Every structure is written in C-alpha cells, then in structure tokens.
Structure 1
C-alpha cells in the first residue's frame, strides 16, 4: 500500500513540475476607444510577438484656433498603424505590477494618413490637405480596473503633403507627436 501511495505522490508532483509557467506577453487582442484634448479614436492592438503588438487606429484628429470673440474648430479623419514594442513587461511582472491590457512602457513607429475625405468644422469652407507622416514615439500605457486606460507619450518625425500645389514646393515638414489619452477597453 505504501508503495502505491509513494508512486502516486511521485507521479503527481512530477506532473506539477512539468507544467509550463505562464508566459509573459502582450494581450492577444485589445479593442477600445480613446479621447484626448484634440480628438477621438477607436483602436485595436493585436499581438505579433510576446512583446510586440500592432496597433491600428481610426478616428478624428482635432484642432482649434481663434482670436478675440471667434473660436473655430475642425475634426479630420485619420488612420494610423503603429507597431509597439512593450519593453518592460518582464520587469513589471517581477515587481508585482499588472500587465493586463498591455500596461507597460513602449517604443513605437507610428504611420499616419490624414485624407481629404471630409471634415467636421465650425466653418463652412475649410481647406484640408491630404498628408501622411511617420513618427518615432516613446510612451506608457496603464489600465486601471479592467477597462479604463491612460496613455502618455512623446515623439517626433516627418510628414508630407500629398496634394498639388503643395507637392511642387517642399512638401516635407517636422511632425511633433505629443499625446495624453483616456480610454475604455472592451
């Protein structure tokens, strides 16, 4: 009888040790909406590797201007594709911090397209020029509770106008990228 119990104990404990530890990785897919000072966006982050996610985003970038009694605004459609490397997932887990919803610091290369499709504006006629840009960014993403997110980041890059007559002159310009966003993940 003791031999049978000993044999079952050895098999059971060996089986427990043979199980693989939980893999530290970004989420397989994260869907959400975000808003900031200058816009509103819907996004998806899909896992490419254990620490890289591809973020795709569709929304409206905003702007405002005015002087004296006038205040004008515009919202323009934007499409972004952004591979993000979440660089400190292991360190956050070692320190006992959550990585749920891709809560970590990241480096990214953001590609953006602002087409001249339509605009939502306080003025009847607003001149929108189609443009595309790429920026290198460093940022942080934190998820609070299960659904609320916060992102903060800074970056810089270059953009180009895609329409005539802006192509004949120097169409390239410096593109700063500063963002502070609050969001909800589904």
Structure 2
C-alpha cells in the first residue's frame, strides 16, 4: 500500500511539474519582427533602408537608393535617385519560429505595397544633355522572401510585384503618357547592422 501511495504522489508531482513546464513554454514570446538598418545592392542599384517595427508581424520600411529608372526617353544606361516607403507584413515569422527555423534579421516571407518616388534631379551616367527622366511614382504590391546567409548579418531578398507607374508633369518637357502598368522584380544581397 505504501508503494502505491508513493507512486500516486510521485505521479501527481510529475504531472504538476510537466503542466507547469508546458505553461511556461506557452507564455514565452515567439520571435517577432525587429527594427533593422540595411545596406543592399541589386542588379539595378544600391539601397540604404531602415525597417521600424510596428507590431509582431509588421514593419515600416523606408529606403533611399540609386536605381535604373523604369521609364525613360534615354537609350543609354543611367541611374536616378529614389525614395520608397512600404509597410511590410512578415506573415510567417512566428510559424518559422515554431518550426525552429531562423527568424534573425526578419528572415521570413513578406507581402507589401511599395510606394516609390523616382526623382529627375540628376542622372548618374549616360545620355545626352537634352535627355530627361520624367518624375514618377510607382505603386507596387509585392510578394517576397528575406533570408540570412549562414549565421552572419549578410542577407538576400527576392521580391516580385506588378503595379502602376504614375508620371508626374514636367513643366519644361511634359510626358506623352500619364501612367502605365509596370513590373518589379528584384534580387538583392545586403548587410544588416
């Protein structure tokens, strides 16, 4: 009888301990989006960005860079400055954490709507003096992935989107079109600070 009583007490203590351990695991927060500073280079430009954490899965990314322009009347290659603002939804960051996959530096899939302003202030190379680049704003819904390379601060990002370009009026040389559909495909390699 004493052995049965000792067994019941031990079993009760063990069940209570395992329940407590499970509760403590459940209450531990899963990794979430964090604020980051990035430098990235791609096939068509270079970028500096800051992602500000808004919530567990959302970040607001602001970016400045030099990129090949989407529309031009210039036959030679050139780069123009651009500014981008995009709210990013890292929709599977918590799922990746539960599956013991890396989420460091916001390594997850994301969906976004990027709003990019391409300026006509200057062009870096190519073209004649009378060529001009129209000012434009791109509204681009995109889907992408972001991953770390190894266990370093290096990362890569791949995204694809289809959206709309709106050409802004230029007082000296107005554009013929006011807008058109455009595609955005980017592959970038970067470093996170």
The TM tier, using the shorter chain, reads 0.7 to 0.9
1:107 counterpart residue number: 111
2:180 counterpart residue number: 173
Deviation at 1:18, TM superposition (A): 6.4
Give the one of 119, 134, 138 matched to 1:133: 138
* Aligned positions of 1:26-105 closer than 5 A: 26-27=33-34, 29-62=35-68, 72-105=76-109
What TM-score does the superposition give when structure 2 sets the normalisation length?
Answer: 0.78
After superposition, the C-alpha distances for 1:132-160 in whole angstroms (9 at most, x for unaligned) are 01010000000122310100011011011
5+ residue gaps, structure 2, are: 1-19, 70-74
Q: Distance in 1 between matches of 2:29 and 2:181?
A: 43
Deviation at 1:124, TM superposition (A): 4.2
After superposition, the C-alpha distances for 1:59-96 in whole angstroms (9 at most, x for unaligned) are 10026xxxxxxx94201000000100001112211211
2:147 counterpart residue number: 142
What TM-score does the superposition give when structure 1 sets the normalisation length?
Answer: 0.81
| DSSP 3-state at the match of 2:104 | coil
Q: Distance in 1 between matches of 2:121 and 2:139?
A: 20
Higher helix share: 2
1:3 counterpart residue number: none
Q: Is the 8 A contact 2:110 2:144 kept in 1?
A: yes
5+ residue gaps, structure 1, are: 1-13, 64-70
